[in-house]
Amino acid sequence: MDFRALLIIPLAALVLSAGAAGLPMPEGWMASRHAMLLDGTAGFDGYEIGIDTAVAGSSPSLTLHAIAAQRKDAPSVGHAFQTVTGYAGQRVRFSGQLRAEAAGGWAGLYLGLGENDVLAPLTLGQPGVEKKLPAGVPLPAADGVWREVSVVMDVPADEPFLTLGVAQVGEGQVWVRELKFEVVGPEVQPTTTPVGIDWAGARRFHAAARANMAKMPPQPLRNAALD
């Protein structure tokens, strides 16, 4: 099979919109930047995600930056992603140039099966996560050097949705640019490594959150007047 470039993402050509943390987000991309507390509620915005306008160069860089101290008892993953369709039964590759600094965890590209935010139920340790691990390839070093990174996945014939993205697990900052998504031939080996998340820790967090919520007193209906 000939390589067919199906989606090239020149971030400079995308219309920008304001991100929740202040940086502009490229159109078509979604961001997940919050951590969870043990009472099951959303915690703080743990990551700044968007186009880093301070980085010089011909190609804009999308960055994910941990801006708050990371909790030891809760999963913390910032990621920018989008969902694509129409690749059932094909082998696809997602690639780009990445660099990272002061990374205390995993930083890289990933491909996951399913729609929308595939990392959310995984980082919360919900049951059955082992069957849904996104394939991921990390940067080999957090030394500030731009490096080519790619992740390859076989999309099942019955799976209409595919999620692709860049993730920063834990502390640190990662930048990505010159992204490319394409169908590749059988000579390209698929990725066998998952995104580097502490799944056992996530499951402990999920169990602790449920146990803590079970101890909470009855809560009344809020804003019954709808005002």
Whether the predicted pLDDT of 77 surpasses 60: yes
Contact 63, 23 (CB under 8 A): yes
Side-chain half-sphere CA neighbours of 26 within 13 A:
23
Q: Lowest-confidence range among 34-38, 161-165, 203-207, 213-217?
A: 34-38
Whether the predicted pLDDT of 15 surpasses 80: no
Whether the predicted pLDDT of 91 surpasses 50: yes
94-107 pLDDT, tens digit per residue, is 999 999 998 778 99
Whole-number Å distance between alpha carbons of 126 and 149: 29
| Structural domains for the chain | 4-213 (2.60.120.260)
45-66 pLDDT, tens digit per residue, is 778 999 998 876 668 899 999 8
CA nearest to 206, candidates 70, 34, 40, 35: 40
